[in-house]
A = this chain, B = another copy of it.
Amino acid sequence: MTDVAQAFVPGHLTGFFTTHSDTDPTRAGSQGGGIALSTGVTVTVHPAEQVEVVLNGSTVEMAAVERVLETLKTRAVVRGVTDLPLASGFGVSGAMALGTALSCNAAFDRQLSTNELVTVAHGAEVQAGTGLGDVVAQARGGVTVRLEPGGPHHNVLDGIPANRRVEYLTLGDLPTADVLGGNTDPIDEAGTQALSAVVEEPTMDSFMRASRRFSRESGLLTTDVREVILDANEAGGQAAMAMLGKTVFALDSALSEAGHDPTVCQVHHAGATLQTPHGV
């Protein structure tokens, strides 16, 4: 069968992370913690002679998506539509890769399991250098704690059982590849400490505290992001920086109560899912 297929993939905000390189991209990745968002990316795949990747109406270069198409031996036009800000720490590239894998599996009847499709998308994203942990968290949904890095055959995941409103505010873009290409020692050290704190106390309160501390100690916190976080804290709320982006995220109404005008969404409990009635 070759048919049109569509998937929805939640956005994903990372609060803290470590980096793990490996010659095998299905073992490489990151530990860390993040929140799947009800705002995400809808990915539609149309089988076609010529590969094209379109995001919000514009043709784009997305190495992770192209790698997924190659791995699944498919040629298609991939269209992503999203309200999420781009290059701002919401996992849009991971969502495009994972949505492509799920949709192509249905459209081209590839008969792969969920773990196999997540492995393909995770490996493609790692090789493209655009993300380390978004794909596996976007496949799971909810608030994910990534205890061990890698794709589904190697990683270990847990979660914080939470149902919360999430607000976010983006102050500009910050391409992931630039940061991950530099010295990651301060990131890895701060990320390991943040993970320990959240494993010790798996609550949203602890997650937000660990994320704030991570942003300071990793050296990734920017002055403008710091000011917005302080606004929210002074108003009695919880905010932190989204990795990697110039984005502040907060629980409940911490940003709006501090006088900002954030976008509002929710924790998204489901992982990435096919939207078209498929799954032969």
Residues of A in contact with B (beta carbons under 8 Å apart): 102, 105-106, 111-117, 141-143, 145, 152, 158-165, 199, 201-205, 252, 267, 269-271, 273-280
Contacts and interface: CB of A to CB of B under 8 A. Distances in A.
Nearest to A271: B269
Contacts of A164: 277-279
Q: Count the copies.
A: 2
Contact of A159 (B106, B113, B142): B113
Contact of A163 (B111, B165, B276): B276
Contact of A165 (B270, B275, B277): B277
A279 B117 contact: no
Contacts of A278: 162-164
A199 B275 CA distance: 23
A102 B202 CA distance: 13
The 8 closest A-B pairs by CB, nearest first: A162-B279, A114-B159, A270-B270, A113-B202, A269-B270, A163-B274, A269-B273, A115-B158
A198 to B, nearest CB: 9
Most buried by B among A141, A159, A161: A161
A50 to B, nearest CB: 26
A203 B163 contact: no
A209 to B, nearest CB: 12
A274 B269 CA distance: 9
A277 B205 CA distance: 14
A270 B111 CA distance: 22
B277 A115 contact: no
A280 B203 contact: yes
Given A158-B113, A203-B111, A280-B205, A163 B275 contact: yes
Contact of A111 (B102, B105, B201): B201
Contacts of A145: 113
B113 A270 contact: no
A111 B105 CA distance: 38
Nearest to A199: B113
Contacts of A270: 141-142, 269-271
